[in-house]
Amino acid sequence: MKRRVFLSTAGMGSAAAMLAAPALAQGKPSISWRLTSSYPKSLETLWGISEQVARRVSEMTDGGFQIQPFAAGEIVPGLQAIDAVSDGTVECAHSLGSFKIGTDPTWAFDTSLPFGLNTRQTIAWLYYGGGRELVNEFVGKSNLRSIPSGNTGAQMGGWYRKEITSLADLRGLKLRIAGLGGTILQRLGVVPQQIAGGDIYPALERGTIDAAEWIGPYDDEKLGFNRVAPFYYYPGFWEGGLNLSLYVSKPKYEELPPLYRDALESACRDATMETMAKYDVQNPQALRRLVAGGAQLRPFPREVMQAAYKSAFELYDETAAENPRFKKVYDHFRTFRDTQLQWFRVAENTYDNFVYSMQAQEQRRP
């Protein structure tokens, strides 16, 4: 009797073990991809996104889905990463859609629109506001699928050799800047320069450019901009909540087994959360070090901000009038933005401003 019970129990245990084992263990496919990044390994937060996504995908698929990341320049230059996916050189790339606005300004919606959405609003628009569907409809024409994979939060306005006190100081200024921010500032007299991250410092040091914006204190400190340009301006109104994306070959994405596709999406969502958290911890500490080391922190003059805001929305209206692809996304984006701003003014902004003002009072007390 006991022997029969034992055999019955053992059999049930074996069956349970088989049911509990991942479906992958039974004939899982083996898939290998290459990922080219737009970022050098020295920027471990941005480069680290590629490494993190690759590691998490491998873990979640029990090693069945492997992604090998390559830094900018190892396969193609950083600014050519998205094209490398479109033409089939690699299966995916970690990059910014704004690097492609020269071909169509609609690419900017997958990164950040100047004076557009903050970080939380960007994530809301992409995941629950219909933004991602519109973005993927657009990039699908380039044989791509975009997966949000990182967000820097609001960025800084960059490093300048000379102080900016008025609109006049922008005229003729050679500024490294990507995306529609450069187009907007060009209308105010700036000469925008699009330069990959690893090439900015030499250009600034040699005087090829007069100023450079990148991301924020932590990464800017690593690139050493404070050693050659003393004035550090804020805010980077052109990137209030910059979204980074993993651009995947559309055919390759569609070929993935559902479990592998879910693993890739999940790994990218994790990367977005972790990137924001890392920057929110790292940036305050780096800013203190930069200021202690002599960096001169400055807000952009109000007349510069107001002129840039006016220029931005004039540009959007003009672009929408002549580009139906831009108009389709912009009309949706603008409606979403207006609704979000109404809500954030009621709760989020009121709360933040009160807390900031109370902290400032406390710090002024003897």
**279-322 pLDDT, tens digit each:** 999 999 999 999 999 999 999 999 999 999 999 999 999 999 99
The set of residues, in sequence order, having a beta carbon less than 8 Å from that of 266 and lying 6+ positions away, is: 56, 60
In 3D, which of 224, 217, 231 has the Cα closest to residue 300?
231
**361 in helix, strand or coil?**
helix
The set of residues, in sequence order, having a beta carbon less than 8 Å from that of 201 and lying 6+ positions away, is: 223, 224, 225, 228
Residue 16 pLDDT exceeds 60: no
Region 2-19: mean pLDDT is 37
For the stretch 326-338, pLDDT in tens is: 999 999 999 999 9
Q: Would you place residue 27 in the very low, low, confident or very high pLDDT band (cuts 50, 70, 90)?
A: low
Which pLDDT score is estimated for 255?
Answer: 96
Q: Regarding beta strands 92-95 and 31-37, do their DSSP bridges make them parallel or antiparallel, or are they unpaired?
A: parallel
Q: Give how far the C-alpha of residue 67 lies from the chain's centroid of Cα atoms, to the nearest Å.
A: 20
Residue 11 pLDDT exceeds 90: no
Cα gap 249→221, rounded to integer Å: 34
Would you say 311 and 188 are in contact if contact means Cβ atoms under 8 Å apart? yes
**Alpha helix positions (H), 61-116:** 81-86
Region 58-73: mean pLDDT is 97
Q: What is the pTM of this model?
A: 0.89
For the stretch 201-223, pLDDT in tens is: 999 999 999 999 999 999 999 99
For the stretch 340-361, pLDDT in tens is: 999 999 999 999 999 999 998 8
Which pLDDT score is estimated for 213?
Answer: 96
In 3D, which of 123, 244, 108 has the Cα closest to residue 181?
108
Residue 153 pLDDT exceeds 80: yes
Q: Regarding beta strands 296-299 and 144-151, do their DSSP bridges make them parallel or antiparallel, or are they unpaired?
A: unpaired
Which pLDDT score is estimated for 197?
Answer: 80
Element (H, E) at 139: helix 131-139
What is the chain's mean pLDDT, rounded?
Answer: 92
The answer to which of 12-16, 43-47, 63-67, 266-270 has the lowest mean pLDDT is 12-16
Region 89-107: mean pLDDT is 96
Which pLDDT score is estimated for 28?
Answer: 80
The answer to which of 138-152, 187-201, 207-221 has the lowest mean pLDDT is 187-201
Region 145-162: mean pLDDT is 97
Residue 243 pLDDT exceeds 50: yes
Q: Would you place residue 362 in the very low, low, confident or very high pLDDT band (cuts 50, 70, 90)?
A: confident
CA distance to 106, 117, 219, 279, 305, per residue, from 344 (Å): 26, 11, 29, 22, 21
Region 86-97: mean pLDDT is 97
Cα gap 161→181, rounded to integer Å: 19
Which pLDDT score is estimated for 79?
Answer: 92
Residue 19 pLDDT exceeds 70: no
* pLDDT over 90 percentage in the chain: 87
Element (H, E) at 267: helix 258-292
**235 in helix, strand or coil?**
coil
Region 166-194: mean pLDDT is 95
